Homo-oligomer: A and B are copies of this chain.
Amino acid sequence: MTTSMNIDNLKTFQEIVRLGSFSEVAKKLGISQPAVSFQVQKLEQQLGMRLLDRTQRTITLTAAGKRLLRFAEAVETERERLQHDLEQMREEISGDLLIAASTIPGEFLLPLLLAEFKQRYPAVKIQVDVSDSLTVISRIRDNTYEVGFCGIAPEGHDLASFKIASDEIVLIVFPGHPFARKGEVSPDELEGEPLIFREANSGTQRNLESLLSQSGLDIRKWVPNLVLGSSQAVVSAVAAGAGIAFVSNLAIKNSLAQGLVRQVKVKGLNLSRDFYCVYRQERIVSRLLKGFINYVQIETSHIG
C-alpha cells in the first residue's frame, strides 16, 4: 500500500496545478488523459488523502494537495541542483580523445555512442580513425591511440577490454523472396542469386569477404548484381527487391522490425562476432578517458 513514489508523478501533479486541466497536462506531457487521471489516483492512494477536488470546470487543491505541491517543488529544486552539479562534473571532463576503431564498430556502434557522449560532455573533442581489428589492437598497445573498438579481444595482460556488442553477419532478402518463406538455405542455393555489395575496397566489404571466406564461402566468385555506397543503401535495395545481401545485424534492426526485409539462415554459416572496447589499464590517468570508458560501460551494459 505504501508503494514507491515516482518523481514523474510529482511533475504531473505540478503541471495539473499549473494548467488546471488533466487533458491539457496530458497533451503537454505527451501522454494520454487517463494516464494523468491514474497518476493522480495513485498519489491519492499512496497518501491516503484527496489531493484535488475536481469538478468539470475547475480543479482545486485540497489542503493536503497544497502540502504535496510544496513537497513536489522542493524535490524539483533539489533535482535541478543535482542535475546541475552532475553537468558540472561532466564539464570538467574535457580534452581530446583519440579513438581507433575497426569497420563495423566505426560504422555502426560508435556514431550513436559518440553522439550521446558529445552531448553529455560538450567540451570533449573526438577523433576516430578506422582501420582493421589487428591494427586497432597494436595501435592501442603502442600508445598511438587511447581507446580502441574492434572485433577481437586482445591477448596479454597489458591490455584491458570488455564486450560492447554482439554482431552477426546475416543474409537478408526482401519479404516476397522464396528464401523468406524457407527461413534457411544451403550455401549452394545462393549461386545465381543477385547479390548486392558495398564497393570492393570499402572496409565493410573487405571485412565481409574475409569473414565469409573463413567460413568457406568465397563470395568473390559471384558477380555482384549491384554495388552501393553505404550499408543503408544496400538494405534499401534489398527491401526494394533488387537482390539479396550479407549485412551486419546491427545495420538492419529497424528494417527487420518494420518487416522491410527478412533474415535468412545459411546452413553451416555462423558469422557472429563480439566487439570489444580495448585500452591500456595504466593509461587511464585523465578524467576524460576514465569518464569515457565508464560511459561506454554503462551504455553497453545491457548488451548480451
Contacts and interface: CB of A to CB of B under 8 A. Distances in A.
A86 B64 contact: yes
16 contacts: A3-B8, A4-B6, A4-B7, A4-B9, A5-B79, A6-B6, A41-B301, A45-B298, A45-B299, A48-B120, A48-B295, A49-B89, A49-B295, A68-B82, A74-B78, A78-B78
A139 interface: no
A265 interface: no
Interface string A154-195: 000000000000000000000000000000000000000000
- Which are the 4 A-B pairs with shortest beta-carbon distances? A4-B8, A71-B82, A50-B294, A5-B7
A7 to B, nearest CB: 5
Interface string A64-93: 100110110011001101100110011000
Of the four ranges (under 10, 10 to 19, 20 to 34, 35 or more), the interface on chain A belongs to 35 or more
Interface string A1-20: 00111111100000000000
* Residue picked from A68, A74, A120, most chain B C-beta under 10 Å: A74
A78 B75 CA distance: 8
A44 interface: yes
A297 interface: yes
Contacts of A7: 4-7
A50 B4 contact: no
Interface string A279-304: 00000000000000011011101000
Contacts of A114: none
A47 interface: yes
* Residue picked from A44, A48, A68, A299, most chain B C-beta under 10 Å: A48
Given A7-B4, A298-B44, A89 B63 contact: yes
Interface in A222-245: none
